[in-house]
Structure 1
């Protein structure tokens, strides 16, 4: 949330306990107070240090009592991103109708293309520089899902409820 009170979708590309690089389509000024909420990390208050081509760098101001828990969450995310274990649990298909609409953060709508699909999840390429955080609850077409990881140019999601077996084939439309 920027100083004007508007909420802006953003993505952290790098983060430490002292600063964060954010990709965001927000008009902010150096020195402006910003409160950043990162899923699975929490609320991170700070001030804009530098404007970048894709967003801005934020100097974080974490109280001492919050540094330990935030550091533990950052470490957990770093370890998880380094895992190379295959996380897929169900067979995948590539549907004929691959175009899909992604909705999140009140009224944010992104266009995507399904790369592959299972009854329990999907890999989706996004036509946007805005990418929701891992852990964000989104709507993929008419199905609710949670983002479980970022892909090169997209996201992997897990559906809140598995797709119906009777309609799960190459003709499915999300």
Structure 2
């Protein structure tokens, strides 16, 4: 099925964080790399998953989600930064997922739950952004979550701890590696109200030539000030 057709079907718009691996992406030890991901629309038969690295149509994926557990499926369609996963399930498993989706939909509409979440780390409405490194090179990335002091990132690169970089327009350093990604601590605490606008930047073509890191950061701040 295509993403276009799925968007016309009955499904739940729900954000659930998870992890997945792609067989053709390996780490330095030769093991499959784990990447962070999150759902954006789910039914008992298929789901749209936002990801930092999109697989190929036909690839078999075994993602894990905290609210759903481990799932199995096949990529049937891809769009920029996401893929549509056809779920391989037994009837009892499908019914269990359907019941879970009904509960999550009610959970999201509960105003007391929304109030509690204001104190949690923020999950951006759109998870895709850009990393800029000290040499001026840029890489697409996936923002797992963020706060005024830092962000958790997943990408097809795994920078060393201590690496200076910018997530969108927020300058910081890699402080630790995570399962499926890495954590960045910002040099300066950010304004909560402007946080998503500063961090989330649409993927763009790299500049024609590399610019010094300081100049690159200055130009970023000028864009948003």
TM-score class, shorter-chain normalisation, is 0.5 to 0.7
Cα distance in 2 for partners of 1:64, 1:101 equals 42
Map of 2:182 onto structure 1: 108
**8 A contact 1:110–1:128 mirrored in 2:** no
* More strand by percentage: 1
Q: Indicate which of 68, 71, 77 corresponds to 2:104.
A: 77
Cα distance in 2 for partners of 1:90, 1:8 equals 26
**TM-score, normalising length: structure 2:** 0.44
Q: How far off its partner does 1:89 sit? A: 9.9
Cα distance in 2 for partners of 1:31, 1:90 equals 39
For residue 84 of structure 2, give the secondary structure of its aligned residue in structure 1: strand
Matched, 1:87 2:115: yes
RMSD: 3.1
**8 A contact 1:110–1:127 mirrored in 2:** no
Q: CA 1:75–1:110 in 2, change beyond 3 Å: closer, same or farther?
A: farther
Cα distance in 2 for partners of 1:111, 1:36 equals 27
For residue 30 of structure 1, give the secondary structure of its aligned residue in structure 2: coil
Cα distance in 1 for partners of 2:85, 2:102 equals 19
* More helix by percentage: 2
Q: CA 1:74–1:111 in 2, change beyond 3 Å: closer, same or farther?
A: farther
Map of 2:199 onto structure 1: 127
5+ residue gaps, structure 1, are: 92-97, 117-123, 130-174
